[in-house]
């Protein structure tokens, strides 16, 4: 065998360092302000995060009150399962049942709030260019992917959203009992009168975007795996880009804040939480 170049620490170091600067689709932009895709009107120094998450991939980010989070379904086939925690006390977290019950509607769209189990707003939907989202079906797990694709192992070709959640939350010191019912962005469900669930799986036009606002200091966890009910052959999911930047918290006259009496009280509860 010829000299590999990595037989010595010096050679191995040169080999490792030569990789820097490689570009792949699924990677973070560091620093985030170096992005070539600065959202209109956002100063470079306010960029907090930009990362493209592969189909099957995951990411998590702490975002402070007022921050905007934009998710872009780059190729029209993303399925972004999301967990949300109060970053200061992660035992407060997204409560999907309260989210749909308090707002008297199960279909998320512009102006929808994601509510915590403490009667507060974690995130609100400012813009929704997709209109196909799901609050019912939750995340795939190893068993459901094994049933569907023949394997569901995290290290295999068909990673499942629950394992991705486990890894992402572990990096914030959280674990199995912190993984709660999630929301799925970009894949829609519609409920018939008999209760049956119909999936709007696409693929959709590339580039659909949703823009969320953090209304508390949150940890947002994203797992981009095929929807549980996706009937298509193959492991159908494509990359999503997450972009976040600093922004102002909801003002007193914010239209999302004031859209409903239930939402107004949820924002009042947020105000009380931050009254320190």
Partner 1 sequence: MTPSESAAHTAAPPALHGAIALDQVIAARAPWDHVVRRGQTLRIIDLEGNQAVDFLMYKLGDDAERYSAQDTMAAQGNIFLRAGTVLLSNEGNPMARVVGTAIPRHDTIGGACSCESNTLRYGFHTKSQHACVENFLIGAGHHGMGKRDIVSNINWFMNVPVEADGTLGIVDGISAPGLYVDLHAQMDLVAVISNCPQINNPCNGFNPTPVRVVIAG
**Which residues sit at the interface with partner 1, rule CB under 8 A?**
91, 95-98, 100-102, 104-107, 115, 117-120, 136-139, 141-144, 147, 162, 175-182, 190-191, 193-197, 228-229, 262-263, 265-266, 269
Minimum CB–partner distance for residue 228 and partner 1 (Å): 4
Q: Report the residue number, 52 or 132, with the smaller CB distance to partner 1.
A: 132
Q: How far is CA 249 from CA 66, 147, 257, 271, in A?
A: 4, 44, 10, 10
Q: Report the residue number, 112 or 211, with the smaller CB distance to partner 1.
A: 112
Minimum CB–partner distance for residue 271 and partner 1 (Å): 13
Minimum CB–partner distance for residue 136 and partner 1 (Å): 5
Q: Report the residue number, 75 or 190, with the smaller CB distance to partner 1.
A: 190
Minimum CB–partner distance for residue 238 and partner 1 (Å): 21
Minimum CB–partner distance for residue 254 and partner 1 (Å): 17
Minimum CB–partner distance for residue 221 and partner 1 (Å): 15
Q: How far is CA 134 from CA 36, 40, 130, 172, 274, in A?
A: 31, 29, 12, 26, 30
Minimum CB–partner distance for residue 236 and partner 1 (Å): 16
Residue 249 in contact with residue 99, Cβ under 8 Å? no
The CA distance from 69 to 81, in Å, is: 14
**Following DSSP, what letter does each residue of 143-175 receive, concatenated?**
HHHHHHHS---TTSSS--HHHHHHHHHHTTT--
Q: Report the residue number, 47 or 118, with the smaller CB distance to partner 1.
A: 118
Apex CA 34: angle with CA 31 and CA 40, to 5°? 120
Strand 58-63 and strand 188-191: the pairing is unpaired
CA neighbours closer than 13 Å in the CB half-sphere of residue 70: 20
The CA distance from 92 to 90, in Å, is: 5
Residue 162 in contact with residue 58, Cβ under 8 Å? no
Q: Report the residue number, 160 or 211, with the smaller CB distance to partner 1.
A: 160
Q: Report the residue number, 160 or 243, with the smaller CB distance to partner 1.
A: 160
The CA distance from 249 to 150, in Å, is: 46
Q: Report the residue number, 107 or 203, with the smaller CB distance to partner 1.
A: 107
């Amino acid at each position: 065998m010829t000299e590999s170049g990595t037989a010595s620490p010096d050679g191995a170091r040169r080999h490792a360092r030569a990789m820097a600067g490689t570009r792949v689709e699924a990677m973070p932009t560091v620093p985030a302000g170096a992005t070539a895709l600065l959202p209109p009107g956002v100063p470079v120094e306010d960029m907090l995060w930009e990362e493209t998450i592969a189909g099957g991939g995951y990411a998590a980010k702490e975002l402070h009150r007022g921050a905007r989070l934009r998710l872009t379904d780059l190729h029209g086939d993303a399925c972004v399962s999301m967990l949300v925690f109060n970053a200061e006390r992660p035992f407060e977290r997204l409560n999907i049942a309260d989210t749909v019950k308090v707002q008297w509607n199960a279909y998320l769209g512009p102006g929808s709030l994601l509510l915590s189990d403490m009667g507060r707003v974690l995130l609100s939907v400012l813009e929704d260019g997709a209109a196909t989202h799901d609050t019912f079906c939750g995340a795939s797990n190893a068993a459901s992917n094994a049933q569907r694709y023949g394997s569901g192992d995290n290290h295999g070709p068909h990673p499942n959203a629950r394992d991705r959640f486990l890894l992402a939350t572990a990096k914030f010191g959280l674990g199995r009992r912190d993984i709660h019912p999630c929301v799925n962005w970009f894949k829609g469900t519609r409920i018939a009168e008999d209760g049956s669930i119909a999936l709007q799986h696409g693929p959709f036009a590339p580039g659909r975007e949703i823009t969320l606002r953090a209304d508390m200091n949150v940890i947002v966890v994203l797992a981009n795996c095929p929807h549980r009910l996706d009937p298509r052959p193959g492991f159908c999911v494509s990359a999503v880009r997450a972009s976040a930047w600093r922004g102002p918290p909801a003002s007193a006259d914010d239209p999302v804040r004031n859209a409903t009496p239930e939402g107004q009280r949820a924002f009042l509860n947020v105000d009380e939480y931050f009254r320190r």
